[in-house]
Amino acid sequence: MGSLPPLDAPLPLGPEAFLDESRPVIDFLNGYYRDIESYPVRPDAEPGWLRTLLPDVPPEHGDPVEAILEDVQQHIIPGLTHWQSPNFFAYFPANGSAAGLMGDMLTSGLNVVPFSWASSPAATELESVVVDWMCKLLGLPDRFLFSCGGRGVLHGSTCEGVVSTLAAARDRALRSLGHEGIVRLVVYASDQSHATFQKGTSIIGIPPANFRIIPTSASSGYGLTADSVYDAVEADIASGLVPLYLCATIGTTGVGAVDPVRGLGEVARRYCMWLHVDVAFAGSALICPEFRDCINGAELADSVSMNPHKWFLTNMDCCCLWVANPQVLTSALSTNPEYLNNIGKGGTEVIDYKDWQIALSRPFRAMKLWVVLHRYGAAGMRAHIRRHVEMAKWFERMVRADERFEVVTPRSFSLVTFRLRPQNELEDEISVDALNRKLLVAINTSGRAFMTHFVVDNKFVIRMAMGGAMTQMRHVRDAWKLVKEKAKEVGAFPREYAQVREMN
Ligand code: PLP
């Protein structure tokens, strides 16, 4: 048996240890953000490379914080994709902020676990206040407010919210169908909906064959039309199936398409389907009245989810989920072991957020979202969103004004999709795609920007998603310059181009 440590050994969370070890981390992060533009946005890392640099087993005796930070600088930073770089335009942003970090420090510093009201009353109550604030800020219908019988919760991700609402809808339907009815339930989404709906459908036990992917087209801006859902539902009913759940998205991941919520809501009501509205990314823009039309009809929805960890300056992770009828959700997700029951104050009148999610334990996410709102205010957040939308408008104008390129789908919020257009009528789509793939690889291997792609209508498009907390107009201008420079390098501009107008 090894010897016991001395009883007076320093405590891992003692006040001195805490200050001595957290200050160097703040200094380190300060240096990281100061120098972030000097790192290639996406690393040139080989798979498995980090394993060759680190020991096979953890150290027997711990190292001081300085040595750990040195390892981070030497071994970890060079292999990171720098999501907070102002030149990060890939996927959708996961922007953070000083307030987001401050909130996150409070969250992990206090390190409470609010799975039930009694397990941390103020954390539970702050969560219910902050989701109401967000509901009002986004202009969602009152039915999602606590005072009107609806309620919100903070999950870690949209995926978790989707599985939870699918389970709620399933259980509601199976109450009348009986458990064996699960094989008859059908979930509807579009070919632009996030993959999480398909995954969630199979997680909750619905046969994969009962997941309908309804095609969209350019004529509806890649939005899911109510007519197409109606037709799919009617066909399923005729085959003895039962429509369960319909997903509408505002701001799809690929091209930022906006589904017509009211039309879809009317179809959902007609067939007693659960309507979920996914505003993961674009929900942040709903705080600006000029984007509110998108949410028209949300009073017909059963649930809405939005990710503050994308475009809302809230460090990972945070997803608001609102439900109009919380009881349906909690009856699907509740567990009531004796050891978790509130004894004394609280009783059964209070919220136990464990019954609103998949896991039991959960962090105090409300703190960081509350700090962000507290620090920047609604006006500050609107200005933040509008800045990125203006940048996207500028980028879109540049692409449109240069006849070598085309904007492939209409700009949506702060997302622009573009590509090199075919160089003449004879060029086939396969070679245009190949050229655009080469262009994207050249942009990203430069390390000066990072963008990602999508395929829509069989066209390979490059996505330029604005949203970095440190992104300024100069970064967007540089990105456009980079696109043009790399386009030349990959041989995109032979003589056939009639009049190439160099912009800027
Ligand atoms: N829905 C949409 C429209 C998204 O764009 C994304 C992620 O980009 C998701 C859902 C998944 O979000 P999460 O990673 O929080 O599960």
Query: What pLDDT is stored for residue 501 in this prediction?
Result: 45
439 pLDDT exceeds 70? yes
More confident residue, 428 or 384: 384
Which residue from 259, 279, 307, 415 has its CB within 8 A of the most atoms of ligand 1, so it is best to mutate?
A: 307
- Amino acid found at 388: H
Query: Is residue 8 scored above 80 in pLDDT?
Result: no
Q: How confident is the model at residue 485 (pLDDT cuts 50, 70, 90)?
A: very high
Question: For residue 169, what pLDDT band results from cuts at 50, 70 and 90?
Answer: very high
Q: What is the DSSP string of 184-231?
A: GEEEEEETTS-THHHHHHHHTT--GGGEEEE---GGGTTPPPHHHHHH
Interhelix angle for 98-110 vs 365-401, to 10°? 150
Measured in whole angstroms, the distance separating CA 257 from the mean position of its chain's CA atoms is 15
- In the chain, % of residues over pLDDT 70: 96
Rounded (10°) CA dihedral 425, 430, 436, 440: 180
Q: Where in the chain is the domain with CATH 1.20.1340.10?
A: 15-38+43-80
503, two tokens:
């912009």
Going from the Cα of 57 to the center of ligand 1, the distance in angstroms, rounded, reads 35
| CB of 305 shorter than 6 A to ligand 1 | no
Residue 374 has pLDDT above 60, yes or no: yes
User: What is the pLDDT at residue 423?
Assistant: 79
Digit-coded pLDDT (tens) for 284-295: 999 999 999 999
pLDDT at position 150, please? Answer: 85
pLDDT in tens, 78-102: 999 999 999 999 999 999 999 999 9
Question: Residues of CATH 3.40.640.10 domain(s) within the chain?
Answer: 113-363
Copy the structure tokens of residue 214.
């309804």
How many angstroms separate the CA atoms of 172 and 190, rounded?
Answer: 23
Phi, psi values for residue 244, rounded to 5°:
-115, -50
157 Cβ inside 6 Å of ligand 1? yes
Expressed in angstroms and rounded, the spacing between residue 392 Cα and the centre of ligand 1 is 20
Among 39-53, 364-378, 426-440, the least confident range: 426-440
Name which residue sits closest to atom 15 of ligand 1, judged by CA: 157
Position 341 scores a pLDDT of 81
| pTM for the structure as a whole | 0.95
* E strand or H helix at 329: helix 326-333
**Domain span(s) for CATH 3.90.1150.10 in the chain:** 379-497
With a 6 A CB cut-off, is 84 part of the ligand 1 pocket? no
Q: For residue 234, is pLDDT > 60?
A: yes
| Tens-place pLDDT, residues 278-320 | 999 999 999 999 999 999 999 999 999 999 999 999 999 999 9
Query: Residue 500: what pLDDT?
Result: 46
Domain 113-363 has CATH 3.40.640.10: yes
Q: How far apart are the first and last CA of the chain?
A: 73
Model confidence at 345: pLDDT above 90: no
Query: Is the confidence at residue 495, as pLDDT, over 80?
Result: no
pLDDT of residue 17: 82
Ligand 1 site, residue 454, Cβ cutoff 6 A? no
- Distance (angstroms) between ligand 1 centre and the Cα of 28 equals 30
| Contacts of 282 by beta carbon, 8 Å cutoff, 6+ apart | 250, 251, 256, 258, 291, 294, 412, 413
Cβ of 196 less than 6 Å from ligand 1? yes
Q: How confident is the model at residue 348 (pLDDT cuts 50, 70, 90)?
A: low
Decide whether any atom of ligand 1 lies within 6 Å of the 193 Cβ: no
Please provide the CATH number assigned to the domain covering 15-38+43-80. 1.20.1340.10
**At residue 400, what are phi and psi to the nearest 5 degrees?**
-65, -30
CA separation, residue 188 to residues 22, 180, 194, 307, 478 (Å): 48, 20, 12, 22, 41
- Joined tokens for residue 135: 């509901």
Given pLDDT bands bounded at 50, 70 and 90, which one contains residue 499? very low
155 touches ligand 1 (CB under 6 Å): no
Q: What is the pLDDT of residues 190-209, one digit of tens each?
A: 999 999 999 999 999 999 99
Architecture of domain 379-497: Alpha-Beta Complex (3.90)
- pLDDT score of 494: 56
**Section 18-23 average pLDDT:** 90
Q: Pairing mode, if any, of strands 274-278 and 303-306? A: parallel
Distance 209 CA to ligand 1 centre (A): 23
Percent of the chain with pLDDT over 90: 87
Res. 50: pLDDT tops 90: yes
At 262, the pLDDT band (50, 70, 90 cuts) reads very high
* Top mean-pLDDT range of 4-13, 300-309, 486-495: 300-309
Task: List pLDDT tens digits, range 446-479.
Answer: 999 999 999 999 999 999 999 999 999 999 999 9
